[in-house]
Structure 1
Amino acid sequence: FTNRHEVRKMTLDRSEYVPLIPRLKNVVALDMDMPGHKIFWSDLYHRKIYSADMNLAGNSSHHQRGIDSQMEAPDVPAVDWIHGNNHWTDSVPQTTPGATTDGTRRKTLISEGLEKPRSIVVDPAQNFMYWTDWGDEAKIEKSGLNGADRVALVTDNIKWPNGITLDMVNQRLYWVDSKMHTLFSTGVNGEGRHTLIYNEDKLAHPLSLAVFEEKVFWTDMGDRAVMSANRLTGNDITVLAEDLMQPEDIIVYHNLKQPIGKNWCSEKNFVDGGCEFLCLPAHQINQHSPKYTCACPDHMTLGLDLMKCVAAPTTTAPSTTPKTAAPIPTRAPTKQPAGPHLPPQLQQLPPPPAGSSLRTLIGPRPLTVHSETAVTGQSGYVAMPKVAEASHRYMLLYIVLPIMMMCLVLFGAVLLWRHWRLKNTNTIHFDNPVYRKNHRRTSCTSVETTARTATLNP
């Protein structure tokens, strides 16, 4: 099992408990290849998947980088020990890739409809893979090892599905839900779901689990321990190791865990089934179903013979978006899933500067991602379109002109109202004879005329 900076080994009877791979940066996931006597692990600090011979794993000079490119937050590797491939989940680009175990040939198998893929397990005997997704619509899904015929198995009564494992003998899936503090099991087709253990103390924050014979084993971040119980009844819960730093993944290294099967990609002495790039096994729906399918790199597609790879057709539509200029800083909101109080080691720390280790909550557990640059773009921001200056002038006119027109209309309305009021007001004029015009002058004239007449008469 992993303990952040090392991989430890413990026998089932606990008679031996020793470090297996020491001095690691941030190991979070494990798997094995029993026929090849190899162990695989993913390191989130380096964002790579490594491998080593089981007997030489303690010597760092024998560590091999299997998959070391185009990885952001590689999680649990799931080794197909029959066909020589490796599957894993990456929660940052939200994909489920597949590749050869040496990492030389790689193909993204599932990239749509994933929110936060977490753990994955494969069944190369039946050619299926199963994975957990703890997004807003948490679920457990299943598909062929070639990514075909995808179907959801569990969609209800599920919150934070973490680790998942497969009992190949009984064809039964087991998984832990860290928010519900529960260990469940179900058939490989989603039938016969069963709650095996519900215990907030012993399943405080479970991360991964493994099944072997009559026992189920799991790691718990909250309890910082490795525990086991009866896989049929859930009883006999036993603490196997405690006071650990950060126990994450656990596997059972035993020959019975990986039985030998038929590699259809090497049938009739064909190398990779005659595929030019990558041969992926296909699950059998009926007797006429193909045993495998060929796959091409993500930027290419299969030709007419379904074996060779050709350039993928590109259809570029004319862009209608304006030219981008200086980037405008934007910040996307983050959503923290609601849940119980997490232990101190699960609390999210503030983001460090670029070039340092970024500790964040990816899945319902902490992962450490070593990031060269925290965001994309020259300035680390999302570029937004710049509005042309002419559009600003037009916008100004659209605002000022209506205001001026409204002022003119109001002014004209006031003038018309005043004119109408003056016109329709009735006035009455009174003439006073005393203060009439020319009154004094007319009286004087009358007096002078009378006097003149008197002097002329005898």
Structure 2
Amino acid sequence: MRLNTTKAHGVSYDGTYVYWVQTEQGHQAIMRAQLDDFAKTKQVLVSIGLEDPGDIAIDWLGGHLYFSDVERGAISVCRTDGSMCTNLHTNAKQPRFVTLDVKNGTMYWADWHHRPLIMMARMDGSQPEVLIDSLHTFATGLALDIPNGRLYYVDKTIKVFKLDSRQGYSLFEEPFHHPYAIAVFENTIFWSDWTSNSIQTIDKLHGPSSKRSMLITLDTPIYDMHIYHPVLYANIHNPCANATCSHLCLRVTNTTVTCACPTGMVLHGNNCELKEDYHPLYLVVGGGSFFSRLDYNSLGNPEVHTTHFDIGRVQAMAYDNTRDTLYIYDGQRKTINYINMSDFTLGITHLFLLKGLEDIVDMDYDYVTDSLYLVDAGRHFIEVVSLRTQQRALLFRFAEDETPVSICVMPDYGKMLVAIMVNEENKIFCIDSIGLDGQDREHLIRTDIRDNKKKQLLSVNSDDASSDNKEKQLLSVSSDFISLEEEEKENISNDNKKKQLLSVNSDDASSDNKEKQLLSVSSDFISLEEEEKENISNGGQIPEKT
């Protein structure tokens, strides 16, 4: 069976799901699907926090997925549904080809510590040690023959290592083409050969004296192989069955386990608790009334953290790092609501502003004056609202042929950058600098983007090192500010016309530097059909400042 995937490597199978690492357009993800219904059961397990994931190994007894990441220098473990992940402390530097001895609670991997090595540790990452340090090249294709206590790997040729006596030898006397991946089952060794793009086999008992066989030839190199047979998954006792770990239970030996916690949590006894003053770097993505919070400090799958908010349709967002609060403009009800990030998974927002809002396309927070800046494209002006007093003021009114579309507030400089569409027909935009009091407008950039439909407008304001300068770092990206061509509009549904809005916040690790980073992305600023305004009574209150 040939499965339809983009560039894939690292494969494993547990009898129900096939798991693999997929690479597409520079992005990596760990996937799984059922073999008998591949297209409909295909799902993403891990897509956040990956840089260069390698081979996959399945802990079929505990229900865990192990994988390495060379760029992060880490070996990680997740539940097989991707719902919970953690990094193991293994002293790994550039790990690849992680493989598991599930019955004995041991794992092996190839690594590079100024020289090529093969290392081993317990399956919780403890007791790491160098197993083989006499390699000629970076080892590939690690495979275990558990009943016979052998580790097979490629070091120019196929090598065999006896785990009990710590002695090794070559399966072939001569280097044999270009072997890469290895699998072992009963008396047969399987390997992929990159010279012939084939899978070949040999009897492991007779070695070089036996005849090598060509099993299959393909059009492309084979990166990994995995053999599944029920006999390899013997029904043995799982010590985690009687454990009381609150999150992850990792096998250490036949009888002992270790409890583990996801990033941002610490272990107290067998329970994981949130770290005090832990403020992760996370990205909030909103579309319609659904929001996802992506924690960039940990591995995971953003799809499992989607929350339905009690709003109509998000059109703009801003993050208040003082109160840890997200402000949301509801484009359907024409209101601004807020929600504290601690209540994010509840999805219950509170009304902040109701009256006088027409078409808010962007917002930004000024921590110095504790104010919220609003860009109203419908009324062609910028408004500011004090979060302490809820007093509002009109700062700047644009000409009728000028439509503001995005804002970046820079409190340290007393200015804001505003992206403005000055000619809708010819798709001409400019970026202006305006004082935070609405004075001293200055033209900075003017561009005609008729031939380039995706202009990115970036502004970064870095932090001062002193603790007295609590300026947040801000990156604002605006793309696709132009109306789509007529033929493109026909292929876009009303739901797709809703722009996607993203917001990121983080706390600096030092106690004196508690700034938040904010990433605001607005895309597809196309005209939405006028929606019926709802009559909502005013009664909004803002959260108390912490």
TM-score, normalised with respect to structure 1: 0.57
Which residue of 198, 205, 213 maps to 1:232? 205
Question: 1:278, CA displacement in angstroms?
Answer: 0.9
Which residue of 59, 72, 75 maps to 2:54? 75
* Paired position in structure 2 for 1:264: 239
Q: Answer yes or no: is the 8 Å Cα contact 2:264–2:274 preserved in 1.
A: no
1:209 aligns with 2:182: yes
Q: Deviation above 4 Å: which 4+ runs of structure 1?
A: none
Q: What CA RMSD, in Å, does the superposition of the two structures yield over aligned residues?
A: 2.7
State the Cα deviation string for residues 126-152 of structure 1 (Å, max 9, x = none).
111111114631111111111111111
State the Cα deviation string for residues 309-353 of structure 1 (Å, max 9, x = none).
341688xxxxxxxxxxxxxxxxxxxxxxxxxxxxxxxxxxxxxxx
Q: Which amino acid aligns with 2:266?
A: T
Which residue of 25, 28, 40 maps to 2:6? 25
Q: Which amino acid aligns with 1:21?
A: L
Separation of aligned partners in 2, 1:139 and 1:159? 9
Q: Answer yes or no: is the 8 Å Cα contact 2:141–2:153 preserved in 1.
A: yes
1:298 aligns with 2:263: yes
1:118 aligns with 2:124: no
* Paired position in structure 1 for 2:301: none
> CA, structure 1 residues 280+312, in 2 after alignment: closer, same or farther (shift >3 Å)?
farther
* Paired position in structure 2 for 1:153: 131
Q: Answer yes or no: is the 8 Å Cα contact 2:90–2:128 preserved in 1.
A: no
State the Cα deviation string for residues 182-216 of structure 1 (Å, max 9, x = none).
1111123561212112444x332x22110011111
Q: Answer yes or no: is the 8 Å Cα contact 2:201–2:215 preserved in 1.
A: yes
Which residue of 222, 233, 239 maps to 2:195? 222
How do 1:129-208 residues align onto structure 2 when only pairs under 5 Å count? 129-134=107-112, 136-177=114-155, 181-189=156-164, 191-200=166-175, 202-204=176-178, 206-208=179-181
Which residue of 104, 110, 117 maps to 2:83? 104
Q: Secondary structure at the match of 1:88?
A: strand
Separation of aligned partners in 2, 1:152 and 1:379? 47
Q: Which amino acid aligns with 2:249?
A: C
> CA, structure 1 residues 215+233, in 2 after alignment: closer, same or farther (shift >3 Å)?
same
> CA, structure 1 residues 25+135, in 2 after alignment: closer, same or farther (shift >3 Å)?
farther
Question: 1:122, CA displacement in angstroms?
Answer: 0.7
Separation of aligned partners in 2, 1:93 and 1:190? 33
> CA, structure 1 residues 47+82, in 2 after alignment: closer, same or farther (shift >3 Å)?
same
> CA, structure 1 residues 312+133, in 2 after alignment: closer, same or farther (shift >3 Å)?
farther
> CA, structure 1 residues 21+139, in 2 after alignment: closer, same or farther (shift >3 Å)?
same
> CA, structure 1 residues 30+78, in 2 after alignment: closer, same or farther (shift >3 Å)?
same
> CA, structure 1 residues 207+137, in 2 after alignment: closer, same or farther (shift >3 Å)?
same
Q: Which amino acid aligns with 2:180?
A: L
Separation of aligned partners in 2, 1:379 and 1:145? 45
1:56 aligns with 2:37: yes
Q: Answer yes or no: is the 8 Å Cα contact 1:277–1:309 preserved in 2.
A: no
Question: 1:56, CA displacement in angstroms?
Answer: 2.0
Q: Answer yes or no: is the 8 Å Cα contact 2:265–2:272 preserved in 1.
A: no
Separation of aligned partners in 1, 2:137 and 2:61? 33
Separation of aligned partners in 1, 2:132 and 2:144? 15
State the Cα deviation string for residues 56-110 of structure 1 (Å, max 9, x = none).
23xx122122222211121111000000001001111111001110111111003
State the Cα deviation string for residues 155-198 of structure 1 (Å, max 9, x = none).
11342201101112112111112xxx211111235612121124
> Higher helix share goes to which structure?
1
Separation of aligned partners in 1, 2:274 and 2:165? 38
Identity of aligned residues (%): 24
**Which fold has the larger relative contact order, with Cα–Cα distance below 8 Å and residues 6 or more apart in sequence?**
1
State the Cα deviation string for residues 226-272 of structure 1 (Å, max 9, x = none).
111122333322222224212111112221232222211112xxxxx
Q: Which amino acid aligns with 1:186?
A: F
Q: Secondary structure at the match of 2:240?
A: helix
Q: Answer yes or no: is the 8 Å Cα contact 1:134–1:161 preserved in 2.
A: no
1:276 aligns with 2:257: no
Q: Answer yes or no: is the 8 Å Cα contact 1:140–1:155 preserved in 2.
A: yes
Q: Secondary structure at the match of 2:2?
A: strand
> CA, structure 1 residues 56+279, in 2 after alignment: closer, same or farther (shift >3 Å)?
same
Separation of aligned partners in 1, 2:459 and 2:169? 51
1:309 aligns with 2:273: yes
Q: Which amino acid aligns with 1:279?
A: C
Q: Answer yes or no: is the 8 Å Cα contact 1:132–1:163 preserved in 2.
A: no
Separation of aligned partners in 2, 1:216 and 1:312? 51
Separation of aligned partners in 1, 2:459 and 2:107? 40
Which residue of 53, 59, 74 maps to 1:95? 74
> CA, structure 1 residues 67+154, in 2 after alignment: closer, same or farther (shift >3 Å)?
same
Q: Secondary structure at the match of 1:75?
A: strand
Aligned length: 282
Q: Which amino acid aligns with 1:150?
A: P
> Higher strand share goes to which structure?
2
TM-score, normalised with respect to structure 2: 0.48
State the Cα deviation string for residues 31-61 of structure 1 (Å, max 9, x = none).
1113xx221111122411111223223xx12
* Paired position in structure 2 for 1:425: none
Separation of aligned partners in 1, 2:165 and 2:192? 24
For structure 1, the residue ranges without an aligned partner over 5 or more in a row are: 1-18, 268-272, 285-289, 315-377, 386-458
Question: 1:379, CA displacement in angstroms?
Answer: 9.5
